[in-house]
Amino acid sequence: LNVTEEKFVLDTLAGCTEYKSILDVVVNAFYVQDGRYCPISERNLYIVICYLATFQLEEIGLQHFSRIVKSLDTAKMQQFLRFFFNDLYLNTWIKDEWSHIYDSVYVKENLIDPLLRWQPKVQQLIEKLTGKLSNRSSTVKTSRVTQPKEFNLTVPKPRAIPPPSPAPLPVLPKRQPVPPSIYKPPKERKQLEEIKTKNIQKAKIIFSFVSFNLAPFICFKFLYRIISAVLLLWSQMSCEQYLEVVWESVLTQYFEELTKQAQDLIDNIPIKLNTAAILREGALYQRKLEEELKRVEILQQGAGDSSEFLEWQKQMRGKDVEDQLAEIECRRLQGKLSYEEAVLAHQNVTQENKKKADLLREEKAELMHLYTEKRLQEQKAMKELVEQVMEGHKNVKQVKEKIQEYKQQIVQQVCEESGELLRQALEEQEEKNRKRYELIQQIRAIESTPSIRHKLVDLTETGGHGLFGEMSVVELRERLALLKEAQKAAEEEKRDQIIHEKQAKEQLILDKLDQISQFRAELGRAAAFKQEEKKKSQPGERPMKDERILNLQKKIVEKTMERKKQAGLL
C-alpha cells in the first residue's frame, strides 16, 4: 500500500477499536434478528461497514462508500444496510443503547442525525443492490428436463388359470389341559428322602468319631462312665434317643483332642512351590544352618551363652512398653485438659467480640453519614463539568468540517494513483506469463525425445563399481547358503546345551525340596516345644496407674464443671 492507503486503513482500524462498544450493539442485534444464518467469521466485515457508515461517510463520500460496498458480497451488504439504515431502529433502540454509553445529546447530534441525513441516498444504494440480486436470480439458466422413453420389453405370456382351492380341513375339538399334579413328585418320595438324609447324617457322625484314632484317649474311667450312662439311659429312653444322647456326650467330652489332631493334619498339608520359591527357601534354610554352626563353634571355643542377657533384655523391653503406655495415657489426658481450657477461652473471646461488634456498628453509621454528604458534593461538581464539555463540543464541529474537506481531496488523489499502479502491474504479469509459456514448450520438446532404458544383466559378473569385497549374485547366493548351514549347526549345539542345563536344574530343585522338608519338620517341633513353655510361664499384668494420670483426671473433672457453669451463664 502507498502512504495514503496505509493511513486510511490504520485510521479505520483505530476507529473500530475505539468505538467497539457502540459498533458491537448494532452488529450483535443484526446477528440476533436478520443475520441469524450469517457466519460468525464475517463479524469483523460488518463492524468495518458500520464504522464507515457512522463516522467516515461524510469524509470519504457516498461514491467511495458505494464502491467499497459493491466490491463485497451483494446479498450480505444489502441485508446489513437495510437493517442499519432503518428509521424506526435508529430513532428507538439504537439511540437508547448508544445513550447508555455516551451522552444523549452527543449521540443525537453527532451520530443519529448524520445517519438520518444520509438515509435517502443510502436507500437508493440499497435499491440498486436489490435490483442486482433480482436480475441475477432471473438470468439463471433453466436446465433441460430429461424426457423418459419406454423400454422395449417382451410381452408377458398370459397366466394360467389357477386350480380350484382344496376343501377346508376339519377342525379338531380342543383338548383339555394336563393337570399340574402330574408334574409334581409324590409326597411319599419326599418323606423317604428326608429319612434318607437323616440316616446319612447319623452315619457321618459315627464315621467321623470312629475315623479319628481315639485309642490313646480311652481309659478305664471313660469306659466306666459310658457303661453307667448306658445302664441309666436304657431304662428311661427309647433306642434312638439313647443313641443320640450317648454320641453327644462322647463328642463333647473329647472335642478339644479331636480339634488338635485336625489342626496338626491341616498344618502338614504339602504346598506346591514354583522354582523361584524353592530356591529362595533353600537359600534361607542354608543361611540359617550356617549361622547355627557358627554359633556352636563359638560356644565350643569357650564363649558365654546369651540366654541370661536375652531374658534381662525381654524384661527391660516389657518395662519400657509399660512406661510408654503410661506416657501415652498422660498425653491423652493432657490433650483433653487443653481442649477444656480452649473451650473456656473461646467463650471469653465471644463475649469480647460482641462488645467490639457493637462499637463497630456505631462507627459504621457515622462513616455512612459522612460518605453521603461527600457523594452529593461530587455529583454537583460533575454536573458543572458536563456543562463545560458540551460547550467545547460545539466548537469541535467546525474543525471537523475542514478536516473532512481535506480528506476528500486526499482520497481523490489516491484513487488516480492506484489506477496507474494497477495498469503497470497487469503489463508486468502478462510479460511473466508469456516467458513461462515459452519455457514450458521447451521442456515438453525435450521430454518427447525417446531414450533407451533396457540393459542386459549377467548374474555371474560383478557390478564393476570398484568396491572391496565386490562379488556377483551367484557367489552371494552360495555364501548365504553356507551361512545358513553354519547357523543351523550352532542352533542344534545350543539346544543340546539347554537340555543338559535343564536336567541339572531339575536335580538341584529336587535336592532343595528334600532339604526344605527336613528343615520344616525340625522347625515345627521347635515351635510346638516353645509354645508349651510359653503357656507354662505367662507373666501377670501389672496395673497401669500412675500419680500423674490421677492428677490429670482430677483437673479434667474440675475444668468440665467450670465450663458447664460458664455455658449456663451464657
3-state SS of 120-145?
A: HHHHHHHHHHHHHHHHHHHCCCCCCC
Range 468-484 average pLDDT? 88
Higher-confidence residue: 272 or 475? 475
Query: Is 167's pLDDT higher than 80?
Result: no
Query: Is 247's pLDDT higher than 60?
Result: no
- State the pLDDT confidence band at 214, using cuts at 50, 70 and 90: very low
The grid coordinates of residue 302 equal 569357650
- State the pLDDT confidence band at 410, using cuts at 50, 70 and 90: confident
Cell 536336567, located at residue: 503
Query: Is 211's pLDDT higher than 50?
Result: no
The C-alpha atoms of residue 94 and residue 102 are separated, in whole angstroms, by 12
C-alpha closest to that of 519 among 282, 264, 267: 282
- State the pLDDT confidence band at 215, using cuts at 50, 70 and 90: very low
Query: Is 255's pLDDT higher than 70?
Result: no
The C-alpha atoms of residue 352 and residue 147 are separated, in whole angstroms, by 102
- State the pLDDT confidence band at 563, using cuts at 50, 70 and 90: confident
- State the pLDDT confidence band at 224, using cuts at 50, 70 and 90: very low
Alpha carbon of residue 95 to chain centroid: 50
C-alpha closest to that of 22 among 122, 125, 110: 110
Alpha carbon separation from 116 to 54, 83, 376, 539 (Å, rounded): 10, 13, 39, 110
The C-alpha atoms of residue 74 and residue 37 are separated, in whole angstroms, by 16
- CB neighbourhood size of 32 (10 A): 9
- Give the orientation angle of helix 57-70 with respect to helix 43-55, to 10 degrees: 140
Query: Is 33's pLDDT higher than 50?
Result: yes
Which domain does 36 fall in, by range? 3-137
C-alpha closest to that of 41 among 8, 81, 73: 73
- State the pLDDT confidence band at 490, using cuts at 50, 70 and 90: very high
SS (H, E, C) 321-346: HHHHHHHHHHHHHHHHHHHHHHHHHH
Q: Which are the contacts of 249, defined by CB distance < 8 A and separation ≥ 6?
A: 229
Domain presence at residue 99: yes
The C-alpha atoms of residue 52 and residue 54 are separated, in whole angstroms, by 6
Domain presence at residue 96: yes
Share of the chain above pLDDT 70, in %: 80
Ranking 63-77, 198-212, 516-530 by mean pLDDT, the lowest is 198-212
Q: What burial letters (b/e) apply to 442-460, b meaning 16+ CB within 10 Å?
A: eeeeeeeeeeeeeeeeeee
The C-alpha atoms of residue 88 and residue 55 are separated, in whole angstroms, by 20
Q: Which are the contacts of 344, defined by CB distance < 8 A and separation ≥ 6?
A: 559, 562, 563, 566
Domain presence at residue 59: yes
- State the pLDDT confidence band at 73, using cuts at 50, 70 and 90: confident
Query: Is 194's pLDDT higher than 50?
Result: yes
Mean pLDDT rounded to a whole number for the chain: 79
Tens digit of pLDDT for each residue in 319-356?
888 888 888 888 888 888 888 888 888 888 887 888 88
- State the pLDDT confidence band at 301, using cuts at 50, 70 and 90: confident
Structure confidence at residue 453 (pLDDT) = 59
Q: Is 155 left (phi over 0), alpha (psi -120 to 50) or beta?
A: beta
C-alpha closest to that of 541 among 321, 329, 309: 321
Domain presence at residue 108: yes
**CA-CA-CA-CA dihedral for 274, 280, 284, 286, to nearest 10:** 90
Ranking 256-270, 331-345, 488-502 by mean pLDDT, the lowest is 256-270
Range 507-534 average pLDDT? 84
How many helices (H) and strands (E) would you count in the chain?
A: 17, 0
Q: What burial letters (b/e) apply to 311-350, b meaning 16+ CB within 10 Å?
A: eeeeeeeeeeeeeeeeeebeeebeeebeebeeeeeeeeee
Query: Is 236's pLDDT higher than 60?
Result: no
Domain presence at residue 86: yes
Ranking 83-92, 187-196, 198-207, 424-433 by mean pLDDT, the lowest is 198-207
Higher-confidence residue: 171 or 502? 502
- CB neighbourhood size of 513 (10 A): 15
The C-alpha atoms of residue 364 and residue 355 are separated, in whole angstroms, by 15
Query: Is 296's pLDDT higher than 50?
Result: yes
Q: Indicate the DSSP class of residue 528.
A: H
Domain presence at residue 285: no
Query: Is 169's pLDDT higher than 60?
Result: yes
Domain presence at residue 94: yes
- State the pLDDT confidence band at 256, using cuts at 50, 70 and 90: low
Alpha carbon separation from 523 to 165, 529, 535 (Å, rounded): 97, 10, 18
Rg (CA), the chain: 57
Range 248-273 average pLDDT? 57
Query: Is 158's pLDDT higher than 60?
Result: yes
Structure confidence at residue 546 (pLDDT) = 66
Range 158-187 average pLDDT? 76
Q: Which are the contacts of 78, defined by CB distance < 8 A and separation ≥ 6?
A: 126, 129, 130, 133
Domains: count for the chain: 1
Domain presence at residue 417: no
- State the pLDDT confidence band at 487, using cuts at 50, 70 and 90: very high
Structure confidence at residue 482 (pLDDT) = 94
Q: pTM of the prediction?
A: 0.29
Q: Indicate the DSSP class of residue 86.
A: -
